[in-house]
Amino acid sequence: MTRFAGMVRSVGWRHRLSDADVDEMMQQVRIRLWRARGESEQISRAPASYVYRTAVSAALDMIRRQHAQRIEQTVSIQDPGVAVPAGVSPERDLEYSELAAQVARAIESIPASRRPVVRMYLAGHPREEIASLLGWTEAKTRNLLYRGLTDLRARLTAQGIGWETTT
Amino acid sequence: MTDDQLRELYGRALARGDSLPSNASGQCVAPEKLLGLVRREGTEELRLQTLDHVMACKACRRELDLLRALEQAGVEMGVGTEGRPGWQTSAPLALAASLLLAVGIAIGVRYSGDQTDVPRGGVEAVVLLAPPERVAGDQPVAFAWRPVPKAHQYVFELLDAGSGRTGTPAFSRTTSDTSLVLEPAQLRRAGEYQWWVRALTPAGALASPMRSLRVRSE
């Protein structure tokens, strides 16, 4: 159990997962194992495959609960992700936000086969990670990403957004 | 517009929730679909649809990351390979790689007291090129090694070598490239590390010596 938690945490770092997310999930796993096995000695003897399956099941339930909560929530404009950086005027910030929204809309218009790859790349995932998740070769990933980014730039250029816009 | 500028703008759109299509709000993908994406189950078209939403939705991204971490941990422990056509065939290889890694770590720990490199894989070992032994902690660190003929993949491992943590894996990645860059956030803390690379070839795995890396706090 401890070894598995350590492994999940270690792997989670690579995916920029917060310790809090892992802790919450592993807590659920502990509760499930305690209910199923009772004594700590029995829990410590649980095979890794059993802990793994319990963890996947706990994670899926946790995600279901989070989905249900999200439907009831409203988006706050105080989201820290949209805070105005110090020294940036409100006008400039508004302009920048509009530009970001235009980029998001332009991404929406590129072909569906290339769009997820572009999104993943722009979200900061390296090409190897994209290839690994989709089970693609490096060449296929590179090709679709290149085409997707070209599509995106063409659409932005058509809207008058180019190099000079963000300098 | 450069890739970095696009990334910055997309990051802002993500933070504001602008990246999600207007008709997709409140329609997050089912957890089973997220798991299908991680396990490469279902058609490619379906998985791309799922990924398209996930990458535009902050909440779903976190959930996907959690499942990916779980699955990868399962695979690395040799128990998470059920029901994954793409991974079933590589399970024995992963197990063998884990054993090789365990042996490698044990040797690394044994020899960590002196500064001599520990050779692995005989004379054809992977040659490490960069970074130098000391790097700044606030800058991305680029790792590079010389290509190995016929290698189809390289397994990169960064091990924590700080006191009391010697040999603990801090980061690993399998790649077909001969370089990779770690952002400061991925290194997590300044201190002593060791790293090595294994090249997977049709004839077997070749490995580099273990190299020290000191990340300075700036």
SS3 sequence of A26-49? HHHHHHHHHHHHCCHHHHHCCCHH
Torsion of Cα atoms, A102 then A103 then A109 then A113, to 10°: -170
How many CB atoms are closer than 10 A to CB A67? 18
Q: What is the pLDDT of residues B145-201, one digit of tens each?
A: 888 888 888 888 888 877 555 567 788 888 888 888 888 887 777 888 888 888 888
Instruction: Kindly list the structural domains of chain A, giving each domain's residue range(s) and its CATH number in brackets, ordered by start.
Output: 5-72 (no CATH), 90-166 (1.10.10.10)
Lowest mean pLDDT among A80-94, B106-120, B132-146: B106-120
Q: Which one-letter DSSP state was computed for residue A76?
A: -
| Structure confidence at residue A119 as a pLDDT band (50, 70, 90) | very high
- Across the A:B interface, residue pairs with CB atoms under 8 Å apart total 192
Tokens 């006008």 belong to A91
Contact status of A133 with chain B (Cβ, < 8 Å): yes
B16 and A82 within 8 Å at the Cβ level: the answer is: yes
The partner residue sitting opposite B73, judged by closest CB among A4, A49, A121, is: A4
B11 and A123 within 8 Å at the Cβ level: the answer is: yes
The partner residue sitting opposite B70, judged by closest CB among A8, A134, A156, is: A8
Q: What is the pLDDT of residues B7-60, one digit of tens each?
A: 888 888 888 776 665 445 557 888 899 999 998 888 999 999 999 999 988 888
Element (H, E) at A137: none
- Alpha-carbon distance of A13 to B166, in angstroms, equals 18
Confidence check: pLDDT of A122 > 80: yes
B170 and A70 within 8 Å at the Cβ level: the answer is: no
Q: Taking CB atoms and an 8 Å cutoff, what residues of chain B touch A101? A: 13, 16, 18
Confidence check: pLDDT of B117 > 60: no
The partner residue sitting opposite B10, judged by closest CB among A48, A66, A123, is: A123
Q: What is the pLDDT of residues B88-115, one digit of tens each?
A: 444 444 444 454 444 444 444 444 433 3
- Using CA coordinates, name the residue in chain A closest to B2: A163
Residue-level pLDDT at A151: 93
Confidence check: pLDDT of A164 > 80: no
- Alpha-carbon distance of B48 to A113, in angstroms, equals 7
